[in-house]
């Protein structure tokens, strides 16, 4: 707890850890979406599934 106007200092390691944690959470959410889509037979073949996976992985890589 600091005085008014002074923020608690966050060092680089903590910042990186936070970013990584949110990235991993996003990854888990993405994969969950893919799994539920497969369960509901959204993809007719493996090709469509792999395309969707690569698309999502690209998005996730951008966030890492």
Q: Summarize pLDDT for 6-37 with one digit per residue, the tens.
A: 666 777 878 888 888 887 888 888 788 777 87
3-state secondary structure of 64: coil
The pLDDT value recorded for residue 6 is 63
The domain limits of the chain are 12-63
Residue in the block written with tokens 């944690």 = 21
Evaluate if pTM is beyond 0.75.
Answer: no
- What long-range pairs does 36-42 form, CB within 8 A, spacing at least 24? none
The pLDDT value recorded for residue 57 is 79
The dihedral built from the CA positions of residue 39, 28, 26 and 51, taken in this order, carries a sign that is negative
Report the number of secondary-structure helices (H) and strands (E) in the chain: 2, 0
The pLDDT value recorded for residue 4 is 60
The pLDDT value recorded for residue 62 is 77
Q: Summarize pLDDT for 38-61 with one digit per residue, the tens.
A: 777 776 777 777 788 888 778 777
């Amino acid at each position: 707890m600091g005085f008014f106007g002074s923020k608690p200092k966050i060092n680089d390691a903590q910042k990186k850890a936070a970013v990584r944690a949110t990235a991993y959470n996003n990854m888990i959410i993405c994969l969950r979406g893919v799994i539920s889509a497969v369960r509901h037979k959204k993809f007719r073949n493996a090709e469509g599934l792999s395309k969707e996976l690569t698309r999502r992985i690209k998005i996730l890589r951008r966030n890492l």
